[in-house]
Structure 1
């Protein structure tokens, strides 16, 4: 019973996290667009191109992000995937 109440509480907490109703992925430290758009523009790539980016977070997690090149040549972060469950070098 106690485990069921804890699980219910966690589900309620997680569902209340998205209060804006937006499905946008926000940049984190290490993301290409963290702190704004990059200074250089992708001028030779066609609009709609997908750009992949892999990096390691400050906590040691391997992350893969996907961006789509917009008509104004900016990048829009569309998805993020953590490639491992534990930080690099830690077990």
Structure 2
């Protein structure tokens, strides 16, 4: 079931590239984060990242590894502590 949900998320992200999320402080792709390339992970792999933002909220982000080995932010949820 998880594979089906993740596949649907990947397809939705690829189908709607104009609805891209902007990185926020704490995001892996935020401009102040170091730039790295993921060489071992397969293209299309899903990467999850959790952190607490500057307002004390718990943030969970989902990324997909693109063909050029960069990360594309495709989903974000935020919860109050």
TM-score of the superposed pair, with normalisation by structure 2: 0.72
Aligned residue pairs, count: 64
Task: Summarize the Cα distance change of 1:61–1:29 in structure 2 as closer, same or farther, 3 Å threshold.
Answer: same
Segments of 4+ in structure 1 off by > 4 A?
none
Q: CA deviation at 1:23?
A: 1.3
Higher relative contact order (CA 8 A, sep 6+): 2
Gaps of 5+ in 2: 1-17
Equivalence for 1:65: 61
In terms of fraction of residues, the more strand-rich structure is 2
Which of the two has higher C-alpha Rg? 1
Over the aligned positions, Cα root-mean-square deviation in angstroms equals 1.6
Which protein is richer in helix relative to its size? 2
Bigger CA drift: 63-72 or 27-36?
27-36
For structure 1, list consecutive stretches of 5 or more residues without a partner in the other structure.
1-21
In structure 2, the CA distance between the partners of 1:37 and 1:59, relative to structure 1 (3 Å rule), is closer
TM-score by length of 1: 0.64
